[in-house]
Amino acid sequence: MTVMSLSSGLQNRYMASTYDELATRLSREISTTPCEETLYTEMISRKRFIPAGNTLLAGKQPIRPNCAILPAITAENAQYIVKRSIKLWTERIGIGFDASQHPDPVYILRKLSEANASIDLGHRPQRGNMCVVDIIHPRIGEFITCKSNENSVYSDGTPAPPLYNFNISVGLRKADLTNPLYKDTLALMASSAWKSGDPGIVFLDAVGSVPDELGNGENVALPHLGRATTLVPCGEQAMFPNEVCTLGSLNLACPDFWIPATSSSPPLFNGDCFGQTVKLAVRFLDSVIDQMTMCDPELEAMAKQTRRIGLGIMGFAAVVAAQGLTYNDPRVTILIDQIGSVYRDKSHQASRELAVENGPCPALIGTGVCRRNITVTCIAPTGGITLLTGNGAYGIEPFFTDANKLTISEHMIVQARWQLYVDNCISKTINLPTHATIDDISTAWHTAAEMGLKSVTVYRNGSHLNQPMVVDPSCPSGSCTI
Task: Decide if 8-62+244-481 and 67-239 have a common fold.
Answer: yes
- Name the architecture of domain 8-62+244-481: Alpha-Beta Barrel (3.20)
Task: Output the pLDDT for position 472.
Answer: 46
Tell me the CA distances in angstroms from 63 to 58, 93, 95, 250, 341, one per residue in order.
Answer: 6, 11, 16, 20, 31
Determine contact, residues 114/129, Cβ cutoff 8 Å. Answer: no
331-377 per-position pLDDT tens digit: 999 999 999 999 999 999 999 999 999 999 999 999 999 999 999 99
Task: Output the pLDDT for position 324.
Answer: 94
Cα–Cα distance, 64 to 294 (Å, whole number): 6
Tell me the CA distances in angstroms from 328 to 64, 146, 203, 395, 410, one per residue in order.
Answer: 38, 35, 25, 16, 6
- Check whether 136 has a pLDDT greater than 70: yes
pLDDT band, residue 155 (cuts 50/70/90): low
- Check whether 19 has a pLDDT greater than 50: yes
Tell me the CA distances in angstroms from 409 to 186, 417, 447, 455, one per residue in order.
Answer: 20, 12, 7, 15
Task: Output the pLDDT for position 465.
Answer: 61
Cα–Cα distance, 292 to 275 (Å, whole number): 26
Cα–Cα distance, 458 to 190 (Å, whole number): 10
- Name the architecture of domain 67-239: Alpha-Beta Barrel (3.20)
Domain range annotation of the chain: 8-62+244-481, 67-239
Which candidate, 198, 217, 171, places its Cα nearest to that of 369?
217
Collapsing DSSP to helix, strand or coil, 386 comes out as: helix
- Check whether 128 has a pLDDT greater than 90: no
- The pLDDT > 70 percentage for the chain reads 92
166-217 per-position pLDDT tens digit: 999 999 999 999 999 999 999 999 999 999 999 999 999 999 899 998 898 7
Other C-beta atoms closer than 10 Å to the C-beta of 260 total: 9
